[in-house]
Amino acid sequence: MGTLSFSNSTSGFLNGVFVNVTYTSQNSPQYEHSAILKKVPFKITPMTDLNGFTGGYIIEGSGGTGYKTISPNVPLEVGIYANIIPVNDGKSILMQLSAPSSASGPGPGSGVCQF
């Protein structure tokens, strides 16, 4: 669960909590415990026929603050990669997290963001 705060049409910041994230499929990173992400900057790239489909977008971000919620809190390298598409007349977005490498973030997942 988290928030996407848009600075403009091509960038923004993510704050979120990823609860008990442990994926075991190939090419999926493991946070292993709940993870907290704060002020992760991201950029937005429109999809084209070459990298997806017209009307979709790619969010890619890294940096900010991230840590596993174990005692003591363990810092972690933050990376977010997601495919998104606006739906519901732009009032919602469908989001599909993806994992281009083993250290690239919470990995496979999906959700709906309401505005």
pTM of the predicted model as reported, rounded to 2 decimal places: 0.74
- What tens digit of pLDDT does each residue of 4-63 get? 899 998 999 989 887 755 555 555 555 556 778 899 899 999 999 998 899 999 988 888
Q: Residue 115 and residue 36: Cα distance in Å, rounded?
A: 22
- Position 101: which residue type? S
- pLDDT over 90 at 79, yes or no: no
**Domain ranges in the chain?**
2-114
Q: Could you tell me the pLDDT band of residue 78, with boundaries at 50, 70 and 90?
A: confident
Contacts of 73-78 with C-beta under 8 Å, sequence gap 24+, read 76/31, 76/35, 77/103, 78/37, 78/40, 78/105
Looking at residue 26, its pLDDT comes to 54
Are 108 and 80 spatial neighbours (Cβ–Cβ below 8 Å)? no
